[in-house]
Amino acid sequence: MHPLCPTVVVWNDIFDEGSEWIHPGAPDILPIKVRSTGYLLQSTEDFVVIARDYYDHAEQRVYGGRMVIPRGCIDSITCIDL
């Protein structure tokens, strides 16, 4: 089995300040910039999937901590050459 590409995905996530009532002078809130690292499992026009870790055993690949990120949220995807 071929090794997977270690990847950094920079993307925008939601931010919920948790308050139900906001006064008119409250500052604007913005999305949060997130940097997620993992191994690139899948890349489509709509989303990417990364995994926190993986191992190969008995001709099977096992993944841990998969995450799917919609393309519309993604600023960049960088494969890290180790």
- Tell me the mean pLDDT in the region 9-25: 85
Q: Does 63 score more than 90 pLDDT?
A: yes
Could you tell me whether strands 6-13 and 32-43 are parallel, antiparallel, or unpaired per DSSP bridges? antiparallel
Q: Does 34 score more than 80 pLDDT?
A: yes
Asked if residue 74 belongs to a domain, the reply is yes
Asked if residue 22 belongs to a domain, the reply is no
Q: pLDDT value at position 80? A: 93
- Give the confidence band of 11 by pLDDT, cuts at 50, 70, 90: very high
Q: Does 47 score more than 80 pLDDT?
A: yes
Question: How many percent of the chain have pLDDT more than 90?
Answer: 72
Domain hosting 64: range is 6-15+29-79
- Residue 65 CB partners (closer than 8 Å, separation 6+): 38, 51, 52, 53
